[in-house]
Structure formats: structure tokens, C-alpha cells
């Protein structure tokens, strides 16, 4: 059976650090990330689309810009959170470590929550490495 797919890329900048990790990523640092979102459908809507790119921007780019862009993404028990909040710095608290895998999963779940036909999120942490979440 044929399937149609469209992909939208959304760039954003974020800082993070990983707890329970030995290496450079245990220290606060930042990335210019790129979320690559893929949507699929067995058929097209009345406009001939899987989903309108404008709808993706309105629903997901807006959320990414408001919640993740230029924020420190930290695990909810990171002691750095209290210090940053005291300085009125923007923090996005995550249940799990803010790895590329977990960030991709959060974006995927937000798309599903909004009823979008998402099938995969790639989160490019650097130009040469990415993590994928699909369900």
C-alpha cells in the first residue's frame, strides 16, 4: 500500500547537561539543534496534502520556540535548576536526562498530543549526529 510522507525541519538553540554521565556532556553546554519531523498518511486530504506545512509551523514550531528554544533543558532533579531560576533564567524541566533521544521523544509526543500524523522525529544535535524517535 502506498504511503505519502512530508518532512519539516525546525531549528532551535538550547543548553543542557547530562547527570549520571562521565564526559564533556556532564557540564553545561549548548547546541544549535535541528528537529526533523516526518508525517505520513495513506491518503491525502481534500487539498492534496498529508498536512499543511503552515499547520506544522503553527502548532509545533510555535511550541518549540516557546518551550525549548534558548532554554536550558535539564532533568527535573538537576541542582542547577534552583540556581538558574533564582537568576530568572529560562529552564525546561524534563523527567529524563535531556539527551537527543529524549528531546526527540518529547517533540514527538507533543505532535501526537496535537493530533498530528507524526511518525518520526530526528533531532540533529550537531551537523554529523542525530537521534531518532519513532512509534
> Cell 491518503 belongs to which residue?
43
Q: Are 10 and 68 in contact (CB under 8 A)?
A: no
**Does 87 score more than 80 pLDDT?**
yes
pLDDT band at 11 (very low <50, low <70, confident <90, very high): very high
Pairing state between β 4-16 and 29-41: antiparallel
List, in sequence order, the alpha helices (H) in the chain.
53-56, 62-67, 80-86, 100-113
Question: Which position has the grid cell 532551535?
Answer: 12
For residue 1, is pLDDT > 90? Answer: no
Q: Which three cell numbers stand for residue 26?
A: 556532564
Q: Tell me the mean pLDDT in the region 55-66.
A: 96
Residue 135 pLDDT class (50, 70, 90 cuts): confident
* Domains of the chain in sequence order: 4-134 (3.30.479.10)
Measured CA to CA, the distance from residue 125 to residue 131 in angstroms comes to 8
The pLDDT of residue 114 is 96
The dihedral over CA atoms of 76, 82, 83, 88, expressed in degrees to the nearest 10, equals: 100
Q: Tell me the C-alpha to C-alpha distance, in Å, between residue 95 and each of 53, 58, 73, 98.
A: 30, 26, 10, 9
Burial class of residue 77 in the structure, from the number of CB atoms within 10 Å of its CB (0-12 exposed, 13-18 middle, 19+ buried): exposed
Amino acid at each position: 500500500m502506498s504511503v505519502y510522507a512530508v518532512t519539516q525541519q525546525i531549528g532551535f538553540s538550547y543548553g543542557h547537561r547530562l547527570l549520571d554521565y562521565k564526559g564533556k556532556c556532564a557540564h553545561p553546554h549548548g547546541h544549535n539543534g535541528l528537529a526533523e519531523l516526518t508525517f505520513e498518511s495513506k491518503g491525502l486530504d481534500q487539498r492534496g496534502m498529508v498536512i499543511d506545512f503552515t499547520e506544522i509551523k503553527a502548532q509545533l514550531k510555535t511550541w518549540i520556540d516557546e518551550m525549548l528554544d534558548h532554554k536550558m533543558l535539564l532533568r527535573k532533579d538537576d541542582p542547577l535548576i534552583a540556581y538558574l531560576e533564582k537568576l530568572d533564567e529560562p529552564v525546561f524541566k524534563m523527567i529524563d536526562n535531556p539527551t537527543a533521544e529524549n528531546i526527540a521523544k518529547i517533540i514527538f509526543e507533543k505532535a501526537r498530543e496535537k493530533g498530528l500524523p507524526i511518525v518520526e522525529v530526528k533531532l540533529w544535535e550537531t551537523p554529523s549526529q542525530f537521534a531518532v524517535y519513532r512509534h
